[in-house]
Structure 1
Amino acid sequence: MGVGNFGWHILKKLSERRGKLGSTLMIGNQTDYRIFKSNINYGKPIKNIMIEENLSTEVDVADISSYEKANIVLDLSMPHKIEQKFNTLIDYGTIEHVFDSKQCIYNYFSLIEVGGNLVLATPCNNYAGHGFFQFSPEFFYNSLSYKGLFKNIECYLVESPISLTYSKPKAWKVKSPQDVKSRINIRTNFPINILVTAERTDIKLPKYYDFNPIQSDYIKNLKNNKSSHKKDNKETNKLRKFIKNFLPKFLIKQYLNINANRKASLNYKPHFTKYNY
């Protein structure tokens, strides 16, 4: 767990946009992995730097034990009894190690005060074996927007080589599946992390058992009690029938495969935008 150059850039951007991050709960005692010539703090805890550089007013650290000097012992797979709420909660590399991800994200939501920030980074693709899970944009967009719990949701994909850190990794902003009315599939030949920021609204957090986000492309169909498969119009059906009858099956499969890979590429502009910083 640690804060690299891109993660630090996002924290500074958030603090500049909305003022100080205020009272901050850091999940795990995050290590300073920022790469620049004069960083004498590299490899050490970053919480004091956040206060010194006026990002946060105070920083508490929560972990499953006090072994790494956490001042709050918190098992994220279980309901917590912490009454304090924080202006900002930062998780840079924990949620993927918690088996009950629903309870984990629900705990995060319950610890953030109205108007507060969630900042979370975790593996997205080509990180199998690092933790229990890898996470999609769909997971965060749907859980954060559930019943309007969060607003100003921003989602980034970040080039993230295993066991290395870049001074300026490539990054992309990802649109919401609800906005593009399509699943957002991702295929890369290099590891990427997903980083999400969001602002807590004043909508009351539902009870745990009532917190059940649904994948966006199923919501409308389930509400209307219809199949999740779209009904094609007559013209589309005629075209499909023509293709099926006159084109060899292997060509059809090849086309579908090429098209799926095109849409899953980070160069597919309807879903992804190169982020310059």
Structure 2
Amino acid sequence: MDISDFEGATVTHDLNAPVPEDLSESYDLIFDGGTTEHIFDVAACMDNLNALLAPNGVISACSPGNNWFAHGFYQFGPELVYGYWKHGCGFDVLDCVMLPEMPRDKELKILDPAIKGVRPRMRGKMPSQRVYLYYEVRKGQHAHRWKRALQTDYVRKWRDYEVASDNDDGEFTKLRQTHAASSSNEGAIQ
């Protein structure tokens, strides 16, 4: 799929706009090897990937993570994986790593920031070269279209404080409860 068939795409579509209904849940595997950073409306793009993916399907992505200045619109971090895919859409995270472009530096597994309530600490771990965010997520039985995605470490900090209204949909309250429950798994690093 691409916005144009200049590179041989068999399906042409602008991922800034909703995908046609006839493509809904059509794919068991979606590989993003460098597309999403070029789509200005990231929320629409990610929602489209969710819509295109069949139940139990997997999204495998290798996106710019650091030192990709001027490559596309965005560089992505682990909040895309955990704040959006896991907590915002209920997907299962199969893998999330910082993957350096050059093999001399090792990949670094990144765990859910909601578990510790702090952002991944990358000081001294981030190489000076370009780095990818590589992740795999599965559309499991609890997956859904997103209603709200919030930065995971803040959600944990907010759990004992007054927060903005849910607009009566209850999603933020459920998200806070999910984060509170996951905080009992304190054995994880990062």
TM-score (structure 2 length as normaliser): 0.75
Q: Deviations over 1:24-47 (max 9, x none)?
A: xxxxxxxxxxxxxxxxxxxxxxxx
Change (3 A) 1:202 1:152: same
Contact 1:87 1:113 in 2 (8 A): yes
Contact 2:97 2:107 in 1 (8 A): yes
Following superposition, the deviation at residue 224 of structure 1 comes to: 4.1
Give the structure with the higher percent helix.
1
1:197 corresponds to: 136
Contact 2:117 2:157 in 1 (8 A): no
Moved more, 211-220 or 179-188: 179-188
Contact 1:155 1:195 in 2 (8 A): yes
Residues 1:216 and 2:152 are matched in the alignment: yes
Contact 2:87 2:149 in 1 (8 A): yes
Following superposition, the deviation at residue 226 of structure 1 comes to: 4.0
Q: What 5-or-longer segments of structure 1 have no aligned partner?
A: 1-61, 228-268, 272-277
Taking every aligned residue pair, what percent have the same amino acid on both sides? 24
Contact 1:141 1:153 in 2 (8 A): no
- 2 CA distance for matches of 1:184 and 1:89? 26
Contact 2:19 2:48 in 1 (8 A): yes
SS state at 2:128 partner: coil
Contact 2:117 2:154 in 1 (8 A): no
- 2 CA distance for matches of 1:91 and 1:119? 6
2:43 corresponds to: 102
Following superposition, the deviation at residue 220 of structure 1 comes to: 3.7
2:175 corresponds to: none
Following superposition, the deviation at residue 96 of structure 1 comes to: 0.7
Q: Deviations over 1:190-209 (max 9, x none)?
A: 21101100110233633xxx
**Superposition misfits of 4+ residues, deviation over 6 angstroms:** none
- 2 CA distance for matches of 1:204 and 1:194? 22
1:72 corresponds to: 11
1:262 corresponds to: none
Change (3 A) 1:169 1:88: farther
Q: Which amino acid aligns with 2:133?
A: I
- 2 CA distance for matches of 1:220 and 1:176? 12
**Out of 96, 115, 127, which is 1:179 matched to?**
115
1:136 corresponds to: 77
Change (3 A) 1:113 1:170: same
Q: What 5-or-longer segments of structure 2 have no aligned partner?
A: 164-187
TM-score (structure 1 length as normaliser): 0.53
Contact 1:141 1:176 in 2 (8 A): yes
Residues 1:122 and 2:63 are matched in the alignment: yes
Select the structure of larger CA radius of gyration.
1
Change (3 A) 1:65 1:203: same
Following superposition, the deviation at residue 151 of structure 1 comes to: 0.9
Q: Which amino acid aligns with 1:91?
A: D
Following superposition, the deviation at residue 71 of structure 1 comes to: 0.7
Alignment of 1:11-26 (within 5 A): none
Q: Which amino acid aligns with 1:140?
A: V
Residues 1:146 and 2:82 are matched in the alignment: no
Alignment of 1:77-92 (within 5 A): 77-84=16-23, 85-92=26-33
Number of residue pairs matched by the alignment = 161
Change (3 A) 1:179 1:223: closer
Q: Which amino acid aligns with 1:225?
A: Y
